[in-house]
């Protein structure tokens, strides 16, 4: 009865609905994020098993990755409000898993490769849980943080493309460490946006958070492979 009375107070009903909508978007985002890991793992397995990406040169691999990734992201944004949104997103995560297979194959070639992959996976989980938890307790507005993170991501992308041709191990290590910091920040930023109502589409939210998780995992894997890989 008391809840019914509160619902009749000015602004209470709309505030309650707003909170419920935000919780629904966050819940759907987490569910879709978990589901997106299935085609990612499948794509990685196909890539490692068939060696389809291992045969690509560095330049061609980068071109296919960038063209495919940006093409899929454009398609996801176009279909996010339709029934095709989720299938397109899952197709994208399969593609991303496929493109990750080349690095996975290199790491799995080490004597302790499986252990390195599991460590990277666990580390990524810790980062995600930590940032998600922080997003739920932090009260300040993080809107301004997005600009700095975006600039940092652009610098990483440019430096990464340069390093495709330089093949500098030191630069790769540096970029990987910076990527973990920047994309951990993106996880915090994107989850906080959903909580605060800045992002109301769970497909867009999932895409943003997925990309950050992907980059954190890839960067951790690169660092572990370079620093801890044991050759047969």
Tell me which residue of 72, 61, 33 sits closest to 213, measured CA to CA.
33
pLDDT at 232: 65
Q: Is residue 30 part of a domain?
A: yes
Q: Is residue 14 part of a domain?
A: no
Domain that holds residue 26: 21-228
Number of domains in the chain: 1
Q: Is residue 206 part of a domain?
A: yes
pLDDT at 85: 93
Q: Is residue 99 part of a domain?
A: yes
- What DSSP assignment string belongs to 25-79? HHHHHHHHHHHHHHHHHHHHHHHHHH-TTTTS-HHHHHHHHHHHHHHHHHHHHHH
pLDDT at 61: 81
CA distance 163 to 220: 17
pLDDT at 17: 75
pLDDT at 205: 95
pLDDT at 5: 47
Model pTM score? 0.89
The ranges of the chain with pLDDT < 70 are 1-16, 57-58, 230, 232
Q: Is residue 11 part of a domain?
A: no
Tell me which residue of 183, 163, 179, 161 sits closest to 171, measured CA to CA.
163
Q: Is residue 3 part of a domain?
A: no
pLDDT at 27: 94
Q: Is residue 12 part of a domain?
A: no
pLDDT at 14: 65
Q: Is residue 2 part of a domain?
A: no
CA distance 31 to 206: 9
């Amino acid at each position: 009865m008391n809840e019914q009375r509160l619902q009749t107070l000015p602004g209470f009903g709309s505030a309650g609905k707003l909170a419920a909508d935000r919780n629904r978007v966050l819940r759907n985002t987490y569910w879709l994020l978990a589901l997106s890991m299935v085609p990612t793992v499948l794509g990685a397995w196909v890539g490692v098993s068939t060696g389809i990406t291992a045969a690509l040169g560095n330049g061609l691999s980068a071109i296919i990755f960038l063209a495919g990734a940006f093409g899929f992201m454009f398609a996801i944004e176009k279909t996010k409000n339709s029934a095709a949104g989720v299938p397109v997103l899952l197709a994208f995560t399969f593609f991303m898993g496929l493109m990750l297979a080349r690095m996975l194959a290199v790491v799995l070639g080490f004597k302790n490769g499986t252990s390195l992959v599991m460590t990277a996976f666990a580390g990524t989980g810790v980062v995600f849980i930590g940032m998600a938890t922080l997003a739920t307790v932090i009260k300040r507005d993080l809107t301004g943080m997005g600009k700095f993170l975006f600039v940092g991501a652009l610098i990483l992308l440019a430096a990464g493309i340069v390093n495709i041709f330089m093949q500098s191990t030191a630069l790769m290590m540096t970029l990987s460490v910076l990527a973990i910091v920047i994309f951990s920040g993106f996880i915090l930023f994107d989850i906080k946006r959903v909580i605060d109502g800045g992002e109301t589409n769970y497909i867009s939210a999932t895409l943003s958070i997925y990309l950050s998780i992907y980059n954190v995992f890839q960067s951790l894997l690169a660092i572990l492979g370079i620093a801890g890989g044991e050759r047969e």
